[in-house]
Amino acid sequence: MPDSADRNPPLFVDAVEIPACLEADRGTSYAERLHRDRTIAASLSTRNPLGRVRAWHARISRDPESISKPSLGQRLERSRRVIGLLMLIVGALAGVGVASAVFHYDGTWPVNVVTVLAVLVLLQAALVVLSLVLMLPRVPGIRALQDLMGGLNPGAFIAAIYRRIARLDEPRAELLVWPAARGPAVARFARWQMLVWSQIGAVAFNIAALATAAALIAFTDLAFGWSTTLRVNSDDALRITNVLATPWAWFWPDAVPSAALIDSSRFFRLTSASPPAISAETLTGWWPFLLASITAYGLAPRCVLLVLALIRLRAATAHLLLDDPQVKALLDRMSSAEIALGAGDAEPPTQSPGTTARTTPSGVSSQAAAIVWSSAIATDTVNAWSLRNLQKEVTQAVEAGGGRDLQHDAAAVRSIAGGEPSAVLLFVRAWEAPLLDLQDFLEMLRAAVGPACSIVVVPIGAAGIPADEAQRTTWARWVGRIADPALYMESGA
């Protein structure tokens, strides 16, 4: 038996392994898959699609042979954790280095408060804004900027290096690289994964910078002052610090610089002059303000962005699984009602040992509309063929393609969409190569029936026999390239 980690794999592992499992399951006959998936579905109490798919995989994975196989999903999950750890280490080291540099004090000149604010507050605020830009939807106006920033992002950079070092050459390893990922669901996941890694590094940077600053303040004799070549007088500096201190002024008044501190701690460096004779105790009064500024404008926003990125990554991982066409086909099989085909052809009862079969959920049926493309099959035989091979009852059948004009095809689409079907079967000639006009027709059909409707491409061989293996492979690859999560191929074989 698998251990607890195997029984309850992370969602990401399931998102990688379930589509691969369904792809390998193509060798099983459609009737066998349909009966098995209905049987599993009947024993499940949850109606949540994500829960049903993961529970289905848990049942399938009980096979000892499948458990013993190497898991690509687990290898990628380990890679994700390693990259996150690397970002944590890199961020912490960078935080220690930067803080040590800006808080450097050799006893000659005070630590310049302006430099600390510029590096650990203003620069970080600008980086937070850039992170927010990456989090925005990929609209045309900012897509080029997002692509540029994605390539320069530390999370994407570390992930690309690790992928090369670890020699992750599997196609699914594109999940760890953005914007190289292809497909909407994959690109969405890769973008949020990159942002999570980046925020991990940023949080580590700020924690390390705060810890380094606090250690230097506590264990060394730092002195602070402020100096700038800009025409900023003490009153201007007071207004600026009061604005910056607004988030914590009400509960930590000591972290708000006073007018006296600002006026007395300004200095000018001249090659022939020594530092002004200012009380050392006076020059230490800036440290509460600096630590509060780094916390409020560096650490706190990064923690918020990390939580937000983790939430969006969880949602993107769920979509990575549910937006796979093979998973959509599985959900359709699990949700379809059983149709009696006659005494000799009826399915066995959908009940497994040790479980109590539940009825099919209300509102779910095995009815579908049908479109015959280029006279792939006689229209009057569509329902009988569909019942026999797909166990779906065709309620409406129209013809399209095959030299017919665009107006005829558009009318066929409107006729199908008017019936508001939950599934549309598109019968095509299995022996013919898919052409661009069929893809254009699919786009028109999808726009008419909406994103929730399943579109099932059904390749038909000569004389109405199901497509052979080579034909199924050709059509499956073509359908997969369209990247429509509710479009899949099924031959009934």
Neighbours of 374 (CB within 10 A): 17
Angle at 294 between CA 289 and CA 298, to 5 degrees: 150
Tokens linked to 443: 């786009």
Q: Residue 151 has what pLDDT? A: 67
pLDDT for the residue 280 = 57
Handedness of CA 36, 41, 44, 46 (dihedral sign): positive
The predicted pLDDT at position 7 comes to 58
CA distance 41 to 361: 10
Closest CA to 366 of 344, 333, 343: 333
Q: What is the pLDDT of residue 355?
A: 35
Q: Could you give the CA distance from residue 451 to residue 155 in angstroms, rounded to a whole number?
A: 33
CA atoms of 311 and 305, how far apart (whole Å): 10
Q: What is the DSSP letter of 176?
A: G
* Distance, CA of 82 to CA of 403 (rounded, Å): 56
pLDDT in tens for each of the 493 residues of the chain? 344 444 578 999 999 889 888 888 888 888 899 989 999 998 988 889 999 999 999 888 765 554 555 577 888 888 889 889 999 999 999 999 999 999 998 877 889 999 999 999 999 999 999 888 888 887 777 777 777 777 677 777 777 676 666 666 565 656 666 555 567 888 888 889 889 999 999 999 999 999 999 999 999 888 898 988 888 888 999 999 999 999 999 999 999 999 989 988 888 766 444 455 555 566 788 999 999 999 999 999 999 999 999 999 999 999 999 998 999 999 999 987 655 554 444 444 433 333 333 333 333 457 899 999 998 898 989 999 999 888 889 999 999 988 788 899 999 999 999 989 999 999 999 998 888 889 999 999 999 999 999 999 999 988 778 888 888 888 988 988 888 889 999 988 7
> Reduced to 3 states, what is the DSSP secondary structure of residue 194?
helix
Which domains, from first to last, does the chain contain? 74-321 (no CATH), 365-493 (3.40.50.300)
Rg (CA), the chain: 31
222, 256 Cβ separation under 8 angstroms? no
In this prediction the pTM is: 0.82
